[in-house]
Structure 1
Amino acid sequence: MTIICPLCHTALLQEKTRWVCSNQHSFDVARQGYVNLLPVQHKNSKSPGDTVEAVQARREFLQAGYYQPLKDQLMNWLAELQAQFVLDIGCGEGFYTSGMPEVASQIIGVDIAKTAIQIAAKRYPDISWLIASAAKLPIASQSIDVITSFFSPLPREEMARVVKPHGYLLVVTPATGHLHEMRAALFEQVNPHQPEKFIETLAPDFCLIRQDVLTYALTLEQSALRHLIAMTPYAWKAKADKRQQLEQADLLKTSASFQVYLFQKQG
């Protein structure tokens, strides 16, 4: 698995405190252990990706174990693939990525949000962490066995480029009824999630070979509910009064429902 220069696309070699390519483009290793491979010209804002508040809220919620059943299932599926090189796109603060070294040899976590990668790198030093754009992955072509994308973007062309022939893509997206009760409290109209749209989106390069829906009950106390709202797009999509009213609830019972897809690269 080769990490490449985001400027000239030649291989990067790791030295003690930096990564450098044959054209002498150099990228320092931060004290937390990550490498920033997001050139300023690839940024669409000063601080791209999730906000600091969203990252911290997600970390608090996930560390409390509410999505641990999903993580366990994903690691079981990944273990069956016997992958050597795994790339986690949109890895965030590393909750799911952190389980991958137990079932694969070499792991790269990529996210565009600096705060998320800083947290991940500090906590899980046995994984390679990169600040980079999923739309322009600093990864050599046909070098990855399995790409994972959990609630994250699916840049089809880039994923098809970096995954090996007949390699795999493991995807998680909300299933139809995911967090229905919470969404009903935030919005006048609740539109069902449409996970099947990803099958068509990925079809030119990836063939669906396995799928499952994981659903279980969630009982959320006020602090967990606030974290869950803050880590989702609902935080800014919902009207302020609706969000405030829900955040004042002592308890909310809802269901987590996840659509899990495994695709294989065609050709």
Structure 2
Amino acid sequence: MIQPFDQLICPLDKQPLQLNERTWCCDNGHSFDIAKQGYVNLLPVQNKRSKDPGDSKAMVQARRHFLSQGFYQPLADALSDSVLSVGDQSILDAGCGEGYYLQSIVCKAEQRDVSLEVAALDISKWAVQAAAKQDKRLSWMVASNNAIPLADNSVDTILCVFGFPVEAEFKRVLKPGGRLIMVDPASEHLIELKRIIYPEIKAKSEHLPVSEKGWVLSSEERISFKVELPDTEAVHDLLTMTPHLYRASKEGIEKAEKLQSLAITADVWVRVFSLK
């Protein structure tokens, strides 16, 4: 059974939120309406670093189109297996994007008769809008990892897929014995694209994405596979959906945009951490 996660807290005073029809309310009178797309905005204006934080609408559309073609399906399968290995649980997808990986997990949970309570957040309203349209059973939130609007010790598993971990907040919302599952690029990830768009490729750090003082690395798996991008549109989508579009030189982008096809390497770490 797939259910929404209901232990939300007010982003203004940290009090528990109660759902009254289509509005989340706290005892101090703060209220947050559920949008028609099925999500709630729990990112106060004072916590935004820009007028439109997070991934742009163009980035979200490109990523959704790219991922819908199954290019990263092996990663989605590996992540789903890792998440569902412990059975029934509550999940927070901390940086859910347009929801591709979470939707894969939910679909496989239904196939395996695993019960999930699911919350998902992203700082980009465009990403959350796109994700919420796919499955209104989940608790979708516009929010930040810097101030997660969930109760203390309420979540069994946190997902952080190509995201930015905020260790103090992750530790706060995880239950004792809970897990943090992170997906991060390995050294050869998109190496072929990088060789085209950058004059020099910097070596990736080999450090773990979270502090070894606070976490125990329970398992890690390196997932590597080849992807054939068959046309200019697929190459364009890949460029647009990643930060490389804003980091690469103008000359590099122009070279990539002229490609008729491209064979790339997907190379990522799937790591499971537990609290010390």
TM-score band w.r.t. shorter chain: over 0.9
The range that moved more, 31-40 or 219-228, is: 219-228
The letter of the residue matching 1:236 is Y
Partner residue in 2 for 1:208: 217
SS in 2 for 1:197: coil
Query: Which consecutive residues of structure 2, in runs of 5 or more, have no partner in the other structure?
Result: 1-5
Partner residue in 1 for 2:252: 242
Query: Which of residues 45, 49, 53 in structure 1 aligns to 2:54?
Result: 49
Partner residue in 1 for 2:3: none
The range that moved more, 18-27 or 96-105, is: 96-105
Distance 1:171 1:179, change over 3 A: same
The letter of the residue matching 2:39 is Y
Counterparts of 2:153 and 2:115, CA distance in 1: 17
Q: Is 1:135 aligned with 2:146?
A: yes
Partner residue in 1 for 2:74: 69
- Contact 1:12-1:20 at 8 Å conserved across structures: yes
TM-score (norm 1): 0.96
Query: Which of residues 113, 116, 119 in structure 2 aligns to 1:105?
Result: 116
- Contact 1:85-1:145 at 8 Å conserved across structures: yes
Query: Which of residues 61, 75, 94 in structure 1 aligns to 2:99?
Result: 94
Give the superposition deviation at 1:104. 4.4
Counterparts of 1:168 and 1:192, CA distance in 2: 29
Counterparts of 1:83 and 1:46, CA distance in 2: 38
* % same residue: 37
Give the superposition deviation at 1:195. 4.8
Counterparts of 2:97 and 2:135, CA distance in 1: 12
Q: Is 1:58 aligned with 2:69?
A: no
Residues 109-156 of structure 1 show CA distances to partners (whole Å, capped at 9, x for unaligned) of: 100000111111111112110000110000111110000000011001
Distance 1:50 1:195, change over 3 A: farther
Q: Is 1:126 aligned with 2:137?
A: yes
The range that moved more, 35-44 or 78-87, is: 78-87
Counterparts of 2:207 and 2:160, CA distance in 1: 15
Partner residue in 1 for 2:170: 159
TM-score (norm 2): 0.93
Residues 50-89 of structure 1 show CA distances to partners (whole Å, capped at 9, x for unaligned) of: 1111111111111111111100111111111224210001
Give the superposition deviation at 1:241. 1.8
Query: Which consecutive residues of structure 1, in runs of 5 or more, have no partner in the other structure?
Result: none
- Contact 1:48-1:112 at 8 Å conserved across structures: yes
The letter of the residue matching 1:216 is F
- Contact 1:173-1:195 at 8 Å conserved across structures: no
- Contact 1:83-1:146 at 8 Å conserved across structures: no
Counterparts of 1:174 and 1:104, CA distance in 2: 30
Q: Is 1:261 aligned with 2:271?
A: yes
- Contact 1:195-1:259 at 8 Å conserved across structures: no
Residues 154-201 of structure 1 show CA distances to partners (whole Å, capped at 9, x for unaligned) of: 001100111011210000000111111110001011123335331xx3
- Contact 1:6-1:37 at 8 Å conserved across structures: yes
Partner residue in 2 for 1:232: 242
Q: Is 1:252 aligned with 2:245?
A: no
Partner residue in 1 for 2:26: 21
Give the superposition deviation at 1:202. 2.6
The letter of the residue matching 1:145 is D
Q: Which runs of 4+ in 1 moved over 3 A?
A: none
Query: Which of residues 138, 149, 166 in structure 1 aligns to 2:160?
Result: 149
Counterparts of 1:37 and 1:205, CA distance in 2: 28
The letter of the residue matching 1:87 is L
Q: CA RMSD in A?
A: 1.2
- Number of equivalent positions: 264
